[in-house]
Amino acid sequence: MASKYLLCSFVTCPWVQRAAIVLQEKKVAYDINYIDPDNRPDWFRAISPHAKVPVLQIDGKTALFESNAIAEYLDETTAPKLHPEDPILRARNRAWTDYVSTFASVVTGALYADSEEDFNAKTAKIPAVFAKLDEALALRGNDGPFFNGPKLSLVDAAYAPFLQRYTFMNRLKDVGIIEKYPRLAAWRDALLASPAVKASTVPVIEAEWHKNLLKRKRWLQKFVPESAAA
């Protein structure tokens, strides 16, 4: 029997992973449909206004798009709540969730650099966004391991995919940045160890990400292991 929720995705899309983390953390059953980004079917285009993922289809009828809207909807309609109950903390969470677009743009820019010069220029921008998050973690008023303390939140779900992609990049080409921000590094480690994050992608997500580098012919492909290239 089909689940109430159908999540439409590309295999390596971090924005879809954000929604999947929320569903996994809430233990909400869902199906996922991986579509080819180079051959997006008509049925998908009909329910996605921008022809982008994620799209969350509900009961085969209503379709929601944009990862933040999907995460907020799921938190409003399914238990347990991942947003803080306190309105001030909730507003701060939303403010830092909004920053994920800037963070993701900087990190993703480095991941898909076209040349060594481009890679060096783009990785040089990473410390600025890492420093902002490290400072936010210093001021959060709790001991973690997650943004709001012991329980994973929507902020965690938003950043986890991009910290994971940064880690994949760093395994190919060690840039030695995150180690300079111990609070951010500890947060990253907690997120990647989280059962919800682990279950939010295909089991071989790192290998699939390598394939995507090769497919897109980005500079980092030269560091992909031969076994993955094969």
pLDDT 10s digits, 70-86: 999 999 999 999 999 99
Q: Based on the domain organization, do 46 and 101 belong to the same domain?
A: no
Does 229 fall in a domain? no
216 to each of 112, 184, 209, 212, 213, how far by Cα in Å? 8, 29, 11, 6, 5
Q: Based on the domain organization, do 103 and 187 belong to the same domain?
A: yes
**Rounded Cα distance, 14 and 12, in Å:** 6
**Rounded Cα distance, 2 and 31, in Å:** 7
Residue 226, pLDDT score: 80
Q: Based on the domain organization, do 188 and 92 belong to the same domain?
A: yes
Q: Based on the domain organization, do 39 and 104 belong to the same domain?
A: no
Q: Based on the domain organization, do 123 and 188 belong to the same domain?
A: yes
Residue 59's domain comprises 5-77
Q: Based on the domain organization, do 111 and 45 belong to the same domain?
A: no
Q: Based on the domain organization, do 42 and 97 belong to the same domain?
A: no
Residue 2, pLDDT score: 75
Residue 1, pLDDT score: 64
Number of folded domains in the chain? 2
For the entire predicted model, the pTM comes to 0.96
Of 77, 96, 111, the one marking the end of a domain is 77
Quick check: 228 pLDDT over 70? no
